Amino acid sequence: MYDYRYEPHRLIFMIDNKSFFASCEALRLGLNPMEACLAVVSRQPDSCWGSGLIMAASPLAKKKYGLHNVMRVRQLPPKWKAPDLKLVEPHMNLYIKRSIQVLDIFRKYAANEDIHMYSIDEGIIDMTDSWRLFGNDPYYVARRIQKDIHDTLGLYTTCGIGENPLLAKLAMDNSAKHKKSMLAFWHYLDVPDTIWKIEKLEDVWGINTRTANRLRKIGINNMYDLAHSKPYLLKKEFGIIGEQLLAESWGVDRSIIRQKYHPKSKSYGNSQVLTRDYFNQREIELVIREIGEQVAARIRAHNLRAGKVSLYIGFSLFQLAGTTKRGGFGVQRKITPTNINHDLVKELIALFRENWHRESVRTISVSYTDLSPDGTQQLNMLEDFDLQIKRYKLDHIVDQIRKEHGFTSLVKASSLLKGATAIERSNLVGGHNGGNAYE
């Protein structure tokens, strides 16, 4: 199907910090990450442990007690059945610091443009031009990087090696993680003995449960079936994604890490899943205001202003019978480009009031698009110029204070929602701990 002679033949390392959050916590407590029985639990302030969500678990905890991410603490075995299981709260600043330190180690082995941090605990390194500086064998060089990270930070890592990023990722996920050496090298010529042997479609990077179920409906049950399916059938069912799935089944990936993708349109946003259902308009608008101001601070930090605001409101799954047939609503509006909190939040609140019909709210998402450089602030001819300039300057002063002391260190009084205390605002939004920032 594919002639590998014409495909990129590079040397890619995909490196993953094993059980990263749990390992960082184990090391913080002076424990060996591979021998500690530990789970990192996220919970709302002043709530009971049973309502907490497991963010990460150490390898031993997973093996002994069957722990997995996103399960609830109340699902854990009782203390008398798991006396050695430690539950600890997350320390995100620590994880970010360790991730940066791992990146600094990567930079010792490759140029910055040949490194891509895939996530907080995974990185891809194109070693094509540099691996020979550190050894005569790719396995040796990979082991050297693993040892460097362990000796410096105490973290254990798995490494998949491949001739392209896809092969490296699949080698890491489906082979290296199951080896004592925590190393695996997949080549193009190994595809029949590696990728085609993967029985479960969901075990493949980029294939989620929904896509796997659609594939099964057309008779494709594993990666061998996918590799030998009719291209026109995949194209008919999935469009261009079908072509990508076929290429993946043959281990083909033509992306080059140093050729960074720059999207034509960028957006900044944040979403919040609330801890309970909200019916009170004042409380909901308070959360919208907090998220809107947080995203506004981010676009100001990049010297940008927004020409469009978008708001998504997701309703609770539990609705009184007959009250609504909607699962939520998403709306957007073009505005005069600005990055002033007052102007952006005013539009968000207006959108909410125009489209909300007293449904119970569980999810709120805000994003700003149509971004342009913040050269000179465009003033509204219908408002007082001095007042607009004061707002502009005040927002930047507040940004600086929050940058130095944390976002929740300063809570501004609301002109629209009077009487809200700092504690009330923090409890409603959860201090943004539960938010999902995206851009």
The mean pLDDT of the chain is: 84
Average pLDDT over residues 231-240: 91
**Single-letter amino acid, residue 223:** M
Residue-level pLDDT at 378 = 47
pLDDT at 293 over 70: yes
Cα 291 from chain centroid (whole Å): 18
Catalytic residue among 7, 25, 113, 122, which?
Answer: 122
Cα 410 from chain centroid (whole Å): 26
Average pLDDT over residues 254-261: 85
The model's pLDDT over 339-349, given as tens digits with 9 standing for 90+, comes to 888 899 999 99
Give the burial string for 56-87 (b: 16+ CB within 10 Å, else e): bbbbbbbeebebeeeeebeebeeeeebeebbb
Q: Are 315 and 362 in contact (CB under 8 A)?
A: yes
pLDDT at 266 over 90: no
Residue 24's CB is within 10 A of a number of other CB atoms, namely 25
Q: How confident is the model at residue 214 (pLDDT cuts 50, 70, 90)?
A: very high
Residue-level pLDDT at 283 = 92
Residue-level pLDDT at 372 = 87
- Sheet containing 122-126: which strands, arranged edge to edge? 115-119, 122-126, 12-17, 157-162, 183-186
3-state SS assignment for residue 407:
helix
How far is it, in rounded angstroms, from Cα 365 to Cα 344? 14
Rounded to the nearest 10 degrees, what angle do helices 209-217 and 231-238 cross at? 130
pLDDT at 48 over 70: no
pLDDT at 419 over 70: no
Average pLDDT over residues 160-179: 96
pLDDT at 417 over 50: no
Backbone phi, then psi, for 203, in 5-degree steps?
A: -80, -5
| Beta-carbon contacts of residue 319 (< 8 Å; ≥ 6 apart) | 359, 360
Q: How confident is the model at residue 261 (pLDDT cuts 50, 70, 90)?
A: low
What proportion of the chain, given as a percentage, has pLDDT over 90? 59
As a dihedral over the C-alpha atoms of residue 360, residue 361, residue 362, residue 364, rounded to 10 degrees, the angle is: 170
Residue-level pLDDT at 119 = 87
Residue-level pLDDT at 392 = 53
* 122 a catalytic residue: yes
- β partners of residue 268: 368
How far is it, in rounded angstroms, from Cα 44 to Cα 372? 37
Give the burial string for 198-236 (b: 16+ CB within 10 Å, else e): beebeebeebeeebbeebeeeebebbbbbbebeeeebee
Q: Is residue 104 classed exposed, middle or buried when 0-12, 13-18 and 19+ CB atoms within 10 A define those classes?
A: exposed
Tokens 């749990």 sit on residue: 22
Q: Which residue has the higher pLDDT, 200 or 317?
A: 200
What does DSSP assign to residue 379? P
What does DSSP assign to residue 251? T
Q: How far is CA 154 from CA 27, 102, 182, 316, 345, in A?
A: 7, 11, 15, 43, 45
Nearest alpha carbon to residue 289 among 328, 343, 329: 343
pLDDT at 402 over 80: no
Tokens 């089944």 sit on residue: 249
What proportion of the chain, given as a percentage, has pLDDT over 70? 80
pLDDT at 412 over 70: no
Residue-level pLDDT at 301 = 82
Distance between the two ends of the chain, CA-based, in angstroms? 37
Q: Which residue has the higher pLDDT, 225 or 379?
A: 225
